[in-house]
Chain A
Amino acid sequence: MSQLSYQEKSLYGSLVAEVLVYGPYFFLHHENSIGKVALMIIGIIILQIVIQLAIVAFTRNRLKDERDKLIELRGYRAGYFTMASLMVLGLAMLWFHATVGELPVNRMGLHFISVFFGILVISDIVKTVTQIVAYRRTL
Chain B
Amino acid sequence: MPSILNQIRELRAAHDMTQQALADAIGVTRQTVIAIEQDKYSPSLETAFKIALVFGVALEQVFQYEPKGRR
Contacts and interface: CB of A to CB of B under 8 A. Distances in A.
B44 A66 contact: yes
A106 interface: no
A104 B43 CA distance: 56
Nearest to A68: B29
A120 B32 CA distance: 30
B61 interface: no
Contact of A66 (B31, B38, B40, B47): B47
Contacts of A100: none
A135 B43 CA distance: 15
A68 B47 CA distance: 14
A139 interface: yes
Interface string A31-69: 000000000000000000000000000000101011110
Contact of B35 (A7, A8, A61, A67): A67
A61 B29 contact: yes
B41 A138 contact: yes
Query: Which one of A5, A7, A65 has the highest number of Cβ atoms from chain B below 10 Å of its Cβ?
Result: A65
Contacts of B31: 5, 8, 67, 135, 138
Contacts of B40: 137-139
A119 B27 CA distance: 37
A71 to B, nearest CB: 10
A12 to B, nearest CB: 14
Nearest to B35: A138
B27 A138 contact: no
Interface string A1-21: 000010110000000000000
23 contacts: A5-B29, A7-B29, A8-B31, A63-B28, A65-B27, A65-B29, A65-B32, A66-B28, A66-B43, A66-B44, A66-B47, A67-B28, A67-B29, A67-B31, A67-B35, A67-B41, A67-B43, A68-B29, A68-B32, A137-B40, A138-B38, A138-B41, A139-B35
- 3 closest residue pairs by CB, A with B: A65-B28, A138-B35, A138-B40
